[in-house]
A and B are shown apart, each in its own frame.
Chain A
Amino acid sequence: MSFEIVAKSLSQIGITLALILIAFGIVEAVIFLVYNKVLKAGDKALTGMLLAPAVIGLFLLIVIPLIYELVLSFSNMNLHHFKDPSFGITYFFDNIKRVFTTKILKKMTFWPLLFQTVLWTAIQVTFHVVLGLMLALILNSKIRFKELYKGILILPWAMPPVISGLTWRGEFHSEYGFFNIILRRLFGDAAAIPWMTDGFWNFVAMNITNIWMGVPFMMVICLGALQGVPSEYYEAAAMDGAGKGTRLFQITIPLIKPVLAPSVMLGIIWTFNNFNVPYFINQFMLETSDILVTALYRAAFTYNQYGFAAAFALVIFFILFGISIIYMKKTGALKAVGD
């Protein structure tokens, strides 16, 4: 690393920052003038000015790419039609029809893949919430070494996922992975599990990995939620002679539910679309370990079915959107959008 490189990167970034600032300065001024002079609604100018940077940024770098994908879903683009794809409404219907009727990759059709994805999401979120809540409950009570435990338990969240993913994959190695070493030592060679080649065990492996990675987030959320529960509730309940179990299910859980609901929804969304873990743990490309987004990635980048993949992505997006809306309606988390 030389001084020259540092200076170069700093100057490049400095210029960018300056440009962005100037740009937004002008944008803000324009908005201010437009609201005051053209729309004659000066009191609304501030709202517009505050929102402008986000709206412009999102439009440029999220909405435009989305439109690009949408347009692509109306095409027949693949390697045979790479530079000269045709566009048309029939291609769109054709692509959508293919998503539901033909094999997505080699063996699996859409519905089993969706089932696998839902199963994966359900297992993950359940484990994250249950284990996270359990750990949070203990951490929220009076125990020794609390800070030490908290420090250790949060580690998987801080570890870069690329690194933990590869490490876990190593632990599932049939010869040199931790699990099989232990199994061999305890029960002999026959007890070794084919983590990488067997569909069922590979699915188990990716679940173990992601549970390890995901529990700390839920634990922190639960801890925050628990700390928000006033202790008077418990005292009153204890007076009434309620046991610990009753207190947990009658008081604690109902009270923290509104706090957990949005986080659980984020958990669902992130797990549903979790690419890294199912992709990296599945070394042999077993379709039994694919979830919708990994199948999507392979359709787009391994098989280069760009048009089809774009349509497939739309389908995945709307399914997830549907699930989220239903979830929010059920739990009342939709209010966060409304008010």
Chain B
Amino acid sequence: MKKAILFILTVLMSFQFLSANSNTEAASDGNVSIEMWTKEGDADGTLQWTMALIEQFMAENPTITVEVVKKTTVDELREDFQTASLAGETPDLLWTVSDHAGPFLTADLIQSVDGLVDLSKFVETVTTAEGSWAVPMSSGNHLMLIYNKDLIQTPPTTTDELIAMGTELTTDDMYGLVYNQTEPFWFVPWLGGFNGKVFAADGVTPTLNTKEMVNALQFVSDLKNKYAIVPQECDYNAADTLFKEGKAAMIINGDWSLGDYEKLFGDKLGVTRIPMVSATKKWPAPYTAGIYLMVPKDIDAAKAKAAAKLIEFFTSKDVQYSQVNDFNRLPGLKAAYDAPKIKESSILKGSSYQLEVGTPMPTVLEMRAVWDGIKPELAQVLAGNISPADAAELMQESAVAGIAAQQ
């Protein structure tokens, strides 16, 4: 038996030796190979753009090879990164959404970027007492009101106007407004419009069972059930398709969709703020975040250096400009706000106009439980199965239970 064990070990070691040849990247000749995970996708062209940037970067830095790994969803990126960290086989750079900073910081998986770049040159980032944890690639990632100028000339500025115009526009095969109704991210702006917040002042205690929440729930339910200006059940794809087909006059969607819509509608595309809530005289407050670059902890020095170089390249003025021009994303680098398109394009003006009333998305771990608490109950309210008051109570209970489970 001893021999057998000894033997297995030998075999395993030979495997190690075999694969060592192909896997040891930090070779002595100064060449470094790094792996970057990204959340960008094919469908809107951002992945292709990222890949082209990488090619350019590698041409400028012949000693650095970058392997890009695309993750289908942001959740998959988070889950796989945590698993990879557990095994100590992490990528060297993450290109992801800002809210991942919460779980990654809690688990101590990312390193401070203070030493890598001069953060004063960037828009606000994730900062704790210990330091800053991500470099903003873009800012925004926020929802806004997007409309088709063929169908409405002037967009509504208040919810009363929205309902009036919506009722007029909605016919058998046309909707006044479409949006991803059941996704909490699309609900949060309305909550803000009704003066509500998901967390108390401490930033971690959920406050979902409030009068503001009930009002906001009642409002979205009315949009669907009372005024019927939105479709009966509408997810992202349905909303997107209806709007693209000209079967919806307005859509609430994020800045990531602007590139696509601009190609399709050109001058006919209008962008502005989500209409002010008439009852409170307050603008709805979509979450603002952005795409952030994070550096995993415990990667070796040579790789960290290469990753820093890549970050520098991504946040260079040229790349930031290209991001603005090709995808209508607002830059993470302050200096890039002088890009001509930001001043000239009505689309970007509308997007920035909305951004002014946005709220930074909380990046704490507890946010997960809040999202998951809202989602099913929101769907139930829209379906007319439970009252907003009951839903608010259930959301709170569920979020509290979710947070307790994480402790």
Contacts and interface: CB of A to CB of B under 8 A. Distances in A.
A304 B407 contact: no
28 contacts: A19-B14, A23-B14, A26-B7, A31-B4, A34-B3, A78-B407, A80-B107, A80-B407, A82-B82, A82-B85, A105-B402, A106-B369, A106-B373, A106-B405, A107-B394, A173-B237, A174-B233, A175-B231, A175-B238, A176-B241, A197-B233, A197-B380, A299-B405, A303-B402, A303-B405, A304-B103, A304-B406, A305-B405
A181 interface: no
B274 to A, nearest CB: 23
B375 A285 contact: yes
Interface string A20-34: 000100110011001
Contacts of B365: 79
A105 B405 contact: yes
B109 A82 contact: yes
Contacts of B79: 301-302
A27 B372 contact: no
A80 B406 contact: yes
Interface stretch (A188-196, A221-229, A258-266, A313-321): A188-196
Contact of B4 (A27, A79, A197, A304): A27
Given A105-B405, A107-B401, A194 B383 contact: yes
A134 interface: no
A119 B368 CA distance: 30
B402 A106 contact: yes
Contacts of B237: 173
A285 B106 CA distance: 24
Nearest to A282: B376
B10 to A, nearest CB: 8
Contacts of A198: 383, 385
Nearest to A200: B385
Contact of B383 (A23, A27, A197, A283): A197
Nearest to A175: B238
Interface residues of B, number: 51
Contacts of B103: 79, 304
A80 B394 CA distance: 26
A323 interface: no
B374 to A, nearest CB: 11
Interface in A97-111: 102-103, 105-107
Interface of A: 12, 15-16, 19, 23, 26-27, 30-31, 34, 56, 60, 78-80, 82-83, 102-103, 105-107, 173-176, 189, 192, 194, 196-198, 283-287, 299, 301-305, 308
B7 A27 contact: yes
Nearest to A106: B398
Nearest to A52: B4
A107 B406 contact: no
B238 A173 contact: yes
Contacts of B235: 173, 196, 283
B243 to A, nearest CB: 13
A106 B233 contact: no
Q: Which of A287, A299, A303 has most chain B Cβ within 10 Å?
A: A303
A194 B232 CA distance: 9
Contact of B382 (A30, A197, A301, A308): A197
Given A19-B15, A26-B7, A174 B232 contact: yes
A97 B103 CA distance: 26
B51 to A, nearest CB: 17
Contacts of A175: 231-234, 238
Interface in B360-407: 365, 368-369, 372-373, 375-376, 379-380, 382-383, 385, 394, 397-399, 401-402, 404-407
